[in-house]
Amino acid sequence: MTQPSQFSIETVAPKIRKVTFTNPPVNVVGADTVAQLSDVVDELSRDEQVQVVVFDSGTPEYFFNHADLAQVAELLAQTGPDATPLFVDLSIRLSQAPFVSIAAIRGRTRGGGDEITLAFDLRYASREQAIFCQPEVSIGLVPGGGGSDRLARLLGRDRALEAILTSQDYDADRAEQYGWVTRAVADADLDDLITGVATRIASFDKAAVLAAKAQINRSTLPPAADLRASWAQFAESVTRPGFQTRVPLIGKLIAEFGPDEVERNLAHYAGLANQQA
């Protein structure tokens, strides 16, 4: 059976598209999400008219959320060209896409979802609504989709270590201060800011835009080999006792406090699970 699409594509202007991700209730990223988004990137990359793509969410309180733990096996089994893990292939193609990608971030952006978000070219965050976290270490895993590779380049070694090793939630102001996002603005101003940036970039010569992006990519993107190595480490960590012990503890907290409460405050409840491990 064909999976319902989690992504819609809207033509905002002749050279601008908007892609909305909707996977209620909390926009988890599953193998189905990765496959569908990969197809979306392929489709937009083939359209020579497309110059700027804005990515947003249709699920209140959540942007691109963490990986769906129920689909970890499927995520690990997905491969792209040359047996590259599909998640890694997707993040590489997003960063190197023949268009400028802009994230309009409202809501929680964690784990695998944050790793997808880090692959976008520009990230603008709602000061009131955006939250960022790489929670893997708190549940006995390591980041696998490039979170540590990209954050180290954006934040610097010490701040990347803080973000990864504490697995804490970061609000938009702290994320802006650290360099996790391009800019944090008042929620009421977010759409106008992004529209202005997208319209301005779309008015420029596409060849010049993409050549400048390629120059910056050469200086800033992690090597594909590093991304594949991180994924391999993530896959290995799934089998370790640390992860296997903490998953049922998170499940108990969900049963006690409810899925909505635990999902909204995941960093807090992951900490509680570790106290019981």
pLDDT, greater one: 185 or 3: 185
Sheet (strand 183-185) strand order: 7-13, 16-21, 52-57, 100-105, 122-126, 183-185
Coil, strand or helix at 170:
strand
Residue 1 has pLDDT above 60, yes or no: no
Residue with tokens 């409810």: 258
Label residue 2 by pLDDT band (50, 70, 90): low
Average pLDDT over all residues of the chain: 96
DSSP character at residue 256 = H
CATH assignment of 7-204+219-239, among 3.40.50.2300, 3.90.226.10, 3.40.50.300, 3.20.20.70: 3.90.226.10
Task: Express the helix, strand and coil content of the chain in percent, nearest 5 each.
Answer: 55, 15, 25
- What's the whole-model pTM score? 0.96
Cα-Cα-Cα-Cα torsion 65, 67, 71, 76, nearest 10 degrees, comes to: 140
pLDDT above 70 covers what percent of the chain? 99
Q: pLDDT digits over 40-56, tens only?
A: 999 999 999 999 999 99
In the chain, what are the domain boundaries? 7-204+219-239, 241-277
Angle among Cα 104, 105, 108 to the nearest 5 degrees reads 160
